[in-house]
Structure 1
Amino acid sequence: MGKEFEIEREVVLPATPEEVFAAVTTGTANWMFPTPAPEPDSPMVRNWEPPHRFTVRQDGEDGWFNALDFIISARDGGTAALRYVHSGIFTDDWDSQYDGASRHTDFYHHTLGQYLRYFGGKSAVYAEVNGPSASSFPTALESVKKSLGVAAVDETVRLELPGLAPADAVVDYLNPYFLGLRTPDAMYRVFGRNNFGGTVDVSAHLFGGNAGAERAWQSYLDGVFTA
């Protein structure tokens, strides 16, 4: 039986409301994952008020629904406040799903801020890599951190991935569940989904000069967990 949930966040972002609205509607591949461009007249789009509000809701059988509400307001200094509400119904293992969705929300919003601050106005090529089944054990993400030499947020580490030119990367996010790495032309997001019953996965937001990044990360993950 399903149970309703609501995840609410408010973040301040280093961009104008217009820039934030574009990022959460037509630019999701730059910081999250690609989603279809919304059609303002679609029944799923409940609010389309550029640049201040965007709401989308999908309804299913037996009262099931999933809704995302973005409310954007201008702040001093060319910044914007985003109030975000994700609501819906989880049907299985409510506590685990809620925990996973809540923690992913924080990581995605952090990545949105990184995109707007360091890559605003640029469009990314998006790539996604799934770790092997061997990366599903409880300490799998810690193995990745150790392999990369990651110890603390804001430090710089040298990325040397198979087949990809070495690059310095800033550790912009670090906790037991996720790792964020930012180079001058890319953001790499490492998801410790081993904490939620999955594998260690990587998404790459590539802003230029990153040919072969998807293959490099796949080779890297395979190497870490099959050695």
Structure 2
Amino acid sequence: MPKEFEIAREFEVDATPEEVWEAVTAGTGGWLWPMEPPEPRTGGKGPFGSEVTVWDPPHRYTNRVEDVEGISEQTLNQLDYTVEPRDEGRRAWVRYVHSGIFVDDWDNQYDGASRHTDFYLHTLRQYLTVFRGRPVTAFATFDGPEAAKAPDALVTVGRALGLADDTAEGARVRVTGPGGQVIDAVVDHRDPYFLGLRTDDALLRFFGRNHWGHVVGMSVHDFAPGADAAADEETWKGWLNGVFSQP
């Protein structure tokens, strides 16, 4: 049964309005995923078949798409960003609203979208405050194998990295990555649904989508000079597959 939804968040960030605007419109993959940047005008073409309905840099940007991915003519998806200066323009206040219509499994879809929103916006703040001014050189995103649907799949990932179950957000850690490589990192985000690790050169994101009937996924936002997206995917996807192929 189609039903409307709205997910709204507000936050302040140590970045200028112009830097926030660049982050949400350039489509670089620094915090979300690479996408076609919107045409810089109201009525222009937005990413994933959307239309730009508001374009007022660096204050307001909205895109809207109907019949999402051909699912249903009743489907609607709209993303709205409002950005205002704080501290004489040295910082910014951001209001983000994701609204539209979910057609099926409304409660599960809403819960998943709401929790993903918090994690994505957290990653945006990490990007703006830690990697500001550094271009992303490689981005990779992929899913784990079917076994990564297990109820404890994200817990399994944390343990495979060498994290204790009670390692808290903010901890400085040494984790074990692909090929046994030891990686110095900060646990920049951790809850039962998502895990975020920040290194000197990358944001590593682990998505516990097993909570919504899917498999654990991962994304790598790599800022190291000369980084290669295909290599990042090959090494980390191989590691993630290996986590769930252990006897």
Q: Residue 57 of structure 1: SS of its match in structure 2?
A: strand
Cα-to-partner distance string for 1:37-94 (whole Å, 9 max, x where unaligned): 1012416101110000000011236443211010000011711011011110001100
Partner in structure 1 of residue 240 of structure 2: 221
Equivalent runs, 1:106-125 vs 2, <5 Å: 106-124=118-136, 125=138
Q: What root-mean-square deviation, in Å, do the aligned CA atoms of Structure 1 and Structure 2 show?
A: 1.6
Contact kept, 8 Å, 1:27 with 1:123, in 2: the verdict is no
Residue 107 of structure 1: SS of its match in structure 2?
A: helix
Q: Is the 8 A contact 2:52 2:62 kept in 1?
A: yes
1:176 to 179, 192, 204: 192
CA distance in 2, matches of 1:178, 1:129: 15
The whole-number CA distance in structure 2 between the counterparts of 1:73 and 1:215 is 40
Query: Which residue of 115, 126, 130 corresponds with 2:143?
Result: 130
Taking structure 1 as the reference length, the TM-score comes to 0.94
How many residue pairs match? The answer is 227
| Contact map agreement 2:142 2:218 (CA 8 A) in 1 | yes
1:140-168, CA deviations, whole angstroms, 9 ceiling, x for partnerless residues?
00011112132211112223322485320
Displacement of 1:27 in angstroms is 3.7
Unaligned runs of 5+ in 2: 46-50
Aligned to 2:203: 187
The match for 1:14 is 14
Gaps of 5+ in 1: none
Query: Match of 2:48?
Result: none
User: Which contiguous aligned blocks of 4+ residues in structure 1 show a shift greater than 6 angstroms?
Assistant: none
CA distance in 1, matches of 2:175, 2:243: 14
**Distance apart, 1:198 and its partner CA:** 0.7
Residue identity opposite 2:188 in structure 1: D
AA of the residue aligned to 2:217:
D
Q: Structure 1 63/92 Cα, relative in aligned 2: closer, same or farther at 3 Å?
A: closer
Shift of 1:17: 0.3
Q: Provide the rounded CA distance (Å) in 2 between the counterparts of 1:189 and 1:123.
A: 18
Q: How does 1:1-227 map to 2 (within 5 A)?
A: 1-39=1-39, 40=41, 41-42=43-44, 44-60=51-67, 62-76=73-87, 78-124=90-136, 125-150=138-163, 151-163=167-179, 165-209=181-225, 210-211=227-228, 212-227=231-246
Distance 1:118 1:159 in 2: 20
Q: CA offset at residue 32 of structure 1?
A: 0.9
CA distance in 2, matches of 1:20, 1:179: 23
CA distance in 2, matches of 1:165, 1:176: 25
TM-score scaled by length of structure 2: 0.87
| CA shift digits 1:175-214 (9 cap, x unpaired) | 0000000000000000000011111111000001545322
